[in-house]
Amino acid sequence: MVTLMVARQVSVGRVGAVVGRNVGALRSGASYWLVLVSGFFEPLLYLLSIGVGVGALVGRIPLGDGRVVSYAVFVAPAMLAASAMNGALAETTFNFFFKMKYAKTFEAILATPVRPIEVALGELTWAMVRSSFYTAAFLLVMAVMGLAEPWWALAALPATMLVGVAFGAAGMAVSTFLRGWQDFDLMTAAQFSLFLFSGTFAPVGGYPPVLAAVVQVTPLYHAVELVRGLALGRVEWALAGHALYLVVLAGLGLWVASRRIQRVLCS
């Protein structure tokens, strides 16, 4: 139903124009390029430090299904999922908020035939492109380092794109509610807490039960489980559940975001 309603309003060309604006902005500043490209190194450094460095102290870690893998193999997919999240959020929170509130970019765009949902879709597409760029490079590194089988790495790529879309949409929705830069401290705090406690560095099974229960409701947990399952070649029905969670999050985020853009900018 929602899909149909959305489909009737949306023009691919206009969404493309919104994406095109971002590509244009990319070309205009050398520093934006550098910032964008260097974003890839962050998860890689974490992988080397925690995965390889701390991994040497940990040795091997049980996956819970009887299999035991090296710590780096365990951590790498989580870094990948976190990288998809961070890449998408960087675009749909900081940059989105700036364009909405300060640069008045959307105000200018909405003065044309482009609709709020198309702005939201365009921004989200761009966020996904950015995040996929990071994850594809990261998957390559994983395959080269022997942390994932090449075919499973390829299978994990669409999963990371879904993660990017889900977090991108959710981040965009949240950004429309932010009052000012001071709220970003909260946002960063939430993002970092997710990063530390989503079964990223240690299996959720080892968490205290209460914490484990809370973690299982949060989005990065599902992202990590989905990506880890695919990257390690553990296909099971639970993966579908994690994927569904992310699809719902994406739809909800997109719906809220476009309603809010409409509300804030078109009234």
Partner 1 sequence: MAHPTVAVLERHLTLYKRLWRASLFSSFLLPLLFLVSIGLGVGGYVGTVEGVSYVEWIVPGVLASTAFQMAVGECTYSVLGEFKWTRGAHAMFATRVSAWDMVRGWMLYIVFRVEVAAVVFLAVVAAFGVLASPWAAVTLVVVGLLAVAVAAPVSAFSASIDHDSYFALLFRFVMIPSTLFAGVFFPVEQLPALVRPLAYASPLWHGVELCRAATLGVAPPWPVWVHGGYLLAFGVAGLWWAAFSFRKRLQD
Where does this chain bind partner 1 (CB under 8 A)?
29, 31-32, 34-35, 38-39, 41-42, 45-46, 48-50, 53-54, 56-59, 61, 71, 182, 185-186, 188-189, 192-193, 196-197, 201-202, 206-207
Shortest CB 166 distance to partner 1, Å: 23
Measured CA distances, 128 to 118, 163, 165 (Å): 15, 9, 6
Shortest CB 234 distance to partner 1, Å: 20
Kindly state the DSSP code that residue 179 receives in the 8-state scheme. -
Question: Looking at beta carbons only, is 53 or 241 nearer to partner 1?
Answer: 53
Cβ contact 106:119 at 8 Å: yes
Cβ contact 55:75 at 8 Å: yes
Shortest CB 66 distance to partner 1, Å: 17
Surface-to-core class of residue 96, CB atoms within 10 Å of its CB (0-12 exposed, 13-18 middle, 19+ buried): buried
Shortest CB 29 distance to partner 1, Å: 7
Question: Looking at beta carbons only, is 103 or 244 nearer to partner 1?
Answer: 103
Question: Looking at beta carbons only, is 198 or 258 nearer to partner 1?
Answer: 198
Cβ contact 214:139 at 8 Å: no
Q: Which helix (H) or strand (E) holds 69?
A: strand 68-70
Shortest CB 191 distance to partner 1, Å: 11
